[in-house]
Structure 1
Amino acid sequence: MRLWAASVAICMAQAAHACETALLLTIDVSNSIDVAEYRLQVDGLADALLDAEITDVIVQGQSALAVVQWSGVDRQELSIPWTQLRSRTDVQTFAAQARAMPRAFVLSDTAPAEALDFALRQFADAPACDRRVIDVSGDGTPNSGSDPRPMVRAAERAGVTVNGIAIESMGLAITNFYRREIITRDGFVITARQHRDYPRAIREKLLRELSRILG
């Protein structure tokens, strides 16, 4: 009886600390992003994390988050390493780190294939979670690097979902590119109508990702 009770207690403790989603947020800091637009991205991310509904979903799922900044072929940085967010305080701390995050690169090209490759490799150090998701945000199509589609297929083979935020300035060119060449078959794209709309888009995307609504 004691052994059974101990086993139950261990299982309950493990369940209490289980991670539902490992979410890697990647932020475009290529040459097309100016200083004000960078601030809109990092402040928008921080504000979205502090939204009461999103904070609750993160804590309930004991989710793990990390942030990557990316631009050209050899320009990727893990700016905030994997952090499992188990409490509101954890979320607040992570949001503050995102808001204070210095820009990693300036005057660089746009190479989403290499960003995806770098992002996939970060899961080697991620907590063991039920789902693994990469979020790619950007405002342009590639002007350097390789074809991103092989990396998308690699993500699918690895069981990683890739979603996107397409930041548009005119029409839906970036959105259509993300749908064709960036997201996985179980992924989705949220369109931000210019950078000013990014805070709304990142909130919508986070809620959709962390609430297990896919496709």
Structure 2
Amino acid sequence: MRWYVSIGAVLVAGMLAGGGVPGVAAPGPQAEPNERVVDKESTPSVDIELIIAVDVSYSMDMDELAVQREGYAQAIVSKEFLQALKAGPNGKISITYFEWAASNDQKIIIPWRVIDGPESADAVSAEIMKTPVRRASRTSISGAIYFAVPLFDENPHRGLRRVIDISGDGANNNGAPITPARDMALEKGIVINGLPIMVKEPSYSTMDIENLDWYYEDCVIGGPGSFVVSIKDREKFKEAIRTKLLLEVAGRTPERPVVRASDKEPRVNCMIGEKIWQDRWGR
């Protein structure tokens, strides 16, 4: 089951009001024994193994890249985030943060790190902010997923849930098609959530598409409880990032989902990015 939500539909205070957020058992199929390294077979020590994968393609302007970076850094140290963190069964999460663009362009900014309170959250936030902002060519969401999945086996901390959190402002236009990459991750019990960035009007020069939120909903996200938080207002960029992280850490879906997903044909061609690139540049 997947939920789709716009930032205006989520009430974070309500989600956390009235005491702690109950722990949530790992959704989706259980991983086979050979899918995890031996030292992770013990009882889960963290509530979630969270991979944050952020788009740094040229379609993102420098202001968007800076606000995106600041949004994640500030969300991790926010009072709401730390409250959700402590409400979990283990009271801590394991997180890694990387930037992506083309199919062969991924850069880890934060290797696997445990956040268990204000001090560790501050350290991760500071490390995110001190890394210079960069931009790169092409957009390969599939490449980001294929890069992210093996990282779970490198994490020494086993979690109740495994989640890939993808933010981006365009459709896949480089590397492998998106749906096989998504399906591969889902088969391993990994949940993919999305943060489509839609603060600019679609532009020929940036390969933007209309209804990017539909594209993320139908072609990118997946797994039990997966959801999209779309950003359509630049002023709410940081709020949207904080909302998505809170939902992920708390193991919750939005309280007021806009649409309940059902099995249906995608509303957007999942190869639209590749088609636009081919039509314009013939390669």
- TM-score, normalised via structure 1 length: 0.86
The share of aligned pairs that are identical, in percent, is 27
Question: Post-superposition shift, 1:194?
Answer: 4.5
Residue 118 (1) aligns with residue 134 (2): no
Which ranges in structure 2 are unaligned for 5 or more consecutive residues?
1-41, 203-209, 255-283
| Equivalenced residues, count | 200
1:30 aligned to which of 57, 67, 72: 57
Once residues 47 and 213 of structure 2 are traced to their aligned partners in structure 1, the CA distance between those partners, rounded to angstroms, is: 28
Secondary structure of 1:106 counterpart: coil
Secondary structure of 1:188 counterpart: strand
- Once superposed, what is the RMSD of the aligned Cα atoms? 1.9
Question: Post-superposition shift, 1:143?
Answer: 2.1
1:165 aligned to which of 195, 199, 210: 195
Q: Structure 2 matches for 1:1-215, cutoff 5 A? A: 18-59=45-86, 60=88, 61-103=91-133, 105-126=134-155, 127-168=157-198, 169-170=200-201, 173-186=211-224, 187-214=226-253
Once residues 197 and 131 of structure 1 are traced to their aligned partners in structure 2, the CA distance between those partners, rounded to angstroms, is: 28
**Deviations 1:88-138 (Å, cap 9, x if unpaired)?**
1001111111122223x5341001001110011111112211111000000
Q: In structure 1, what residue type is equivalent to 2:189?
A: G
Aligned pair in 2 of structure 1 residues 108, 39: CA closer, same or farther (>3 Å)? Answer: same
Once residues 116 and 189 of structure 1 are traced to their aligned partners in structure 2, the CA distance between those partners, rounded to angstroms, is: 16
Match of 1:11 in 2: none
Aligned pair in 2 of structure 1 residues 107, 20: CA closer, same or farther (>3 Å)? Answer: closer
Question: Post-superposition shift, 1:193?
Answer: 1.1
Once residues 158 and 223 of structure 2 are traced to their aligned partners in structure 1, the CA distance between those partners, rounded to angstroms, is: 23
Question: Post-superposition shift, 1:156?
Answer: 1.2
CA contact (8 A) 1:29 1:71 kept: yes
Task: Identify which of structures 1 and 2 has the higher relative contact order when contacts are C-alpha pairs closer than 8 Å and 6+ apart.
Answer: 2
Aligned pair in 2 of structure 1 residues 157, 92: CA closer, same or farther (>3 Å)? Answer: same
**Deviations 1:9-34 (Å, cap 9, x if unpaired)?**
xxxxx98x920111110110001112
Which ranges in structure 1 are unaligned for 5 or more consecutive residues?
1-13
